[in-house]
Amino acid sequence: MGAASERRALLLESDDDYDPYLTVDVNEYLIEEYPTLTAKQRQSVWSLCQNDEDFDYEAINEQIDNWVYEYAETDPTVVLPEASDEDDEDDDDEDEFESLVYVDVEEYLQDSYDGIDEEELPYIVELITFKFDYSSVYEQIDQIVTNYNDGQYDDELEELAEEASEETSDDTSDETSKETSDETSTQQPAE
């Protein structure tokens, strides 16, 4: 993290109103749209969303871009980068679990728009957060649920379950080895 990023983080850390994240509560969405899914099935679906390295954020980024340009129309001090040909081509408790997918709007804007004034950034983030259309995110969730119901993720889910059980067994064997080692080191030789 550069010095400018560190200063910005410190400045914004103290601002209680500063919230540059768009969040989608996948669990609530699934409850509303797929009421027959069990809690375990919903958790599997949002885990797939969270672990999908190819999850398509492009539609979200495009909406953010649209709001940046709309905001730029109202504020002549906003300097936007020139569009390139390349851009045109690329158009703790077991009962509790995380079901949100996060998008760091501020980070996206900073990575994509070099000319955004740091003082205007919170206002742009707020505008995007207020005006954001989640329909494309929900469409992706719908597709993942459909694929899940069709059994397309069975192999991935089995691999995740195997990895989780291996991690659990590794932790248990590490603790057993440590206990055995501790007992051996505290025993005194017989005289």
Q: Is the pTM of this model over 0.95?
A: no
Please give the pLDDT value at position 146.
Answer: 93
pLDDT value, residue 142: 92
In order along the chain (191 residues), what is the average pLDDT of each group of 10 residues? 70 73 85 88 88 84 87 86 59 61 85 85 87 86 91 86 78 55 47 42
Q: Which of 54, 48, 23 is nearest to 142 (CA)?
A: 48
* Encoded tokens for 152: 């397309």
How buried is 172 (Cβ within 10 angstroms: 0-12 exposed, 13-18 middle, 19+ buried)?
exposed
Q: What is the pLDDT of residue 150?
A: 92
CA atoms within a 13 Å half-sphere pointing along the CA-CB vector of 43: 9
